[in-house]
Amino acid sequence: MSIVRDTSFSQETENAAGATAASRPAAIVVDALEKTYATHDGGKVQALGPISVTVPQGGFMTIVGPSGCGKSTLLKLLSGLIPRSAGSIRVNGEEVREPHRDIGMVFQSPVLLPWKTAIENVLLPARVLGLDMATSRVRAQELLDMVGLADFANRYPNELSGGMQQRVAIARSLIHDPSILMMDEPFGALDAMTREVMNLELLRIWRKAGKTVIFVTHSIPEAIFLGTHVMVLSNRPGRIADLVTVDLPAERSLDIMSTDAFGVYSKRIRSQFNTQGFI
């Protein structure tokens, strides 16, 4: 029998904002969310849910789970890219029915336009949304500074490394100043060392920009290292098997991975994988 949990971040945990999770207003409220896909041969696949969870503003929630359990589906539902089959999703108090202006997305592949420079790629959403371009250009340069690409604004994607391209994608996702950033395995294609650097960078950006982040990963250590909370999903249809509050300092260095506390979280999450026979 699958586990169904109504789970919220009720534990009193200090994070970067210095406030406790329970004292901050909710950024995302998910209630009994479900997704069933129709297949091309007339069948149905129940991909996800029911899931209920509340994410506080400024939280960093990482999502781990076995392959095909519905992690990407959950992210697409939360950002309004696909319709849900049941339940409700509220972002900053508003029901999500279509792509939400207050959400920025980063995918595994940076998907930059090769014929546009880094800064022009960052500016794309501003053009699509009809924002003031002079103001947006200033902001785009600030964002490139923030992601460590101050001197690369006029480079084309093929002149940038994989990690640099993903930084451009992060800057692009923030150009319209969304309060929530959704990231679907953004560093999955990078080598291990670049990935560690990007994790540190992302934590720095999160602390500086004060956004709420939802981050899908296949890596348990990455999920613990980045998250204020780790959602562990069960096999498909993905349901919350565990929701772990990561009580580690907001400012983290890679050394934290060798601490006892980190090991305890790792063991707890890994045990879920073992118990449920995750692939």
Ligand X SMILES: Nc1ncnc2c1ncn2[C@@H]1O[C@H](COP(=O)(O)OP(=O)(O)OP(=O)(O)O)[C@@H](O)[C@H]1O
Quickly count: other Cβ atoms within 10 Å of residue 218's Cβ. Answer: 13
Cα angle for residues 10, 50, 276 (degrees, 5° grid): 85
Q: Which residue's CB is nearer to ligand X, number 185 or number 201?
A: 185
Q: Which residue's CB is nearer to ligand X, number 39 or number 274?
A: 39
How do 94-95 and 103-106 pair as beta strands?
A: unpaired
Q: Which residue's CB is nearer to ligand X, number 76 or number 139?
A: 76
Closest approach, Cβ 46 to ligand X, in A, equals 8
Q: What distance in Å separates the CA atoms of residue 225 and residue 108, rounded to the nearest whole number?
A: 19
Say if CB 173 and CB 106 are below 8 A apart.
Answer: yes
Q: What distance in Å separates the CA atoms of residue 238 and residue 71, rounded to the nearest whole number?
A: 8
Output phi, psi for 270, to 5 deg.
-60, -35
Closest approach, Cβ 40 to ligand X, in A, equals 8
Closest approach, Cβ 190 to ligand X, in A, equals 16
Residues of the shown chain interacting with ligand X in the complex, contacts defined by CB under 6 A: 37, 39, 45, 47, 65, 67-73, 236
Sign of CA dihedral 179, 112, 126, 77: negative
Q: Which residue's CB is nearer to ligand X, number 65 or number 80?
A: 65
Whether omega for the bond prior to residue 50 falls within 30 degrees of 0, making it cis, is yes
Output 146-153 pairs: Cβ under 8 A, ≥24 positions apart: 146/171, 146/205, 146/208, 146/209, 147/171, 147/201, 147/205, 148/201, 149/118, 152/118, 153/117, 153/118, 153/119
Closest approach, Cβ 218 to ligand X, in A, equals 6
Q: Which residue's CB is nearer to ligand X, number 72 or number 79?
A: 72
Q: Which residue's CB is nearer to ligand X, number 49 or number 178?
A: 49
Q: What distance in Å separates the CA atoms of residue 69 and residue 250, rounded to the nearest whole number?
A: 29
